[in-house]
Amino acid sequence: MGRLPNSRGGGLRRRARQTGERWSREAYQGREPQDDAVQLEFHLERYRYILQQIQAANENVHRFLGIYQALATTLVGAALAIFVGHRDWGVPPATARAGIIALLWLVTVVAAFTVLVVIVGVLTWLDYRNEECQLLSDVLHPDFRAPPTLGNFYRWYETYIVAFIVVTVAAMWWCALELVIPAIQG
């Protein structure tokens, strides 16, 4: 995801810093009307871009959750197939146990990657939301929209997605180590 130049109003602010002026919207009220129209169009396009990136970050979380669910279901199904069919297939018990453990490690790796992607998505969302709030403060009025805080994590659905993944992986390991592996005789 690339960033446009002048993100967070960098062009006008950078120019103000270089000249020693304090940047504010009021300081640029004396510009030509066409400059205001260009600036307004830029802000509008930047706002659309930020909203598009926020939407993409939200969609990515759902996409990776779907991938996790599909892979976890398939891998755990394969582990259960090994458990149920290892005798009929002539697979030694030690090999069946090792296969089940290996499949659970694959599920754990997929889960860890999914949790990482969700956390990166949250950080990306926070960055774009802060940028959105700054843009709205610059264009409309200060504190038009309050920036998000990490203290509201319990309101974010990503928190519960991560909790779901952690709980399901822990439950899979518990079931495998306490129920499935001991039941393989040999």
Whether 42 is covered by a domain: the verdict is: yes
Whether 175 is covered by a domain: the verdict is: yes
The pLDDT score that the predictor gives to residue 172 is: 95
Buried (b) or exposed (e) across 38-54, using 16+ Cβ within 10 A?
ebeeebeebeebbeebb
Whether 28 is covered by a domain: the verdict is: no
The candidate with the shortest Cα–Cα distance to 23, out of 46, 6, 2, 45, is 6
Whether 98 is covered by a domain: the verdict is: yes
The pLDDT score that the predictor gives to residue 89 is: 93
**pLDDT tens, per residue, the chain with 186 residues:** 443 444 444 455 555 555 555 555 555 555 555 677 888 888 888 889 988 988 998 888 889 889 999 999 999 999 999 999 999 999 999 999 999 999 999 999 999 999 999 999 999 988 988 888 888 888 887 888 888 888 888 888 899 999 999 999 999 999 999 999 999 987
- Per the structure, the count of domains in the chain is 1
Q: What are the structure tokens assigned to 114, written together? A: 């999914």
Q: Give every CB contact of residue 104 below 8 A, 6+ residues apart in sequence.
A: 75, 76, 79, 172, 173, 176
Per the CB < 8 A criterion, the answer to whether 13 and 137 are in contact is no
What is the domain range of residue 48? 33-183
The pLDDT score that the predictor gives to residue 181 is: 94
Whether 21 is covered by a domain: the verdict is: no
The pLDDT score that the predictor gives to residue 1 is: 41
Q: Give every CB contact of residue 157 below 8 A, 6+ residues apart in sequence.
A: 61
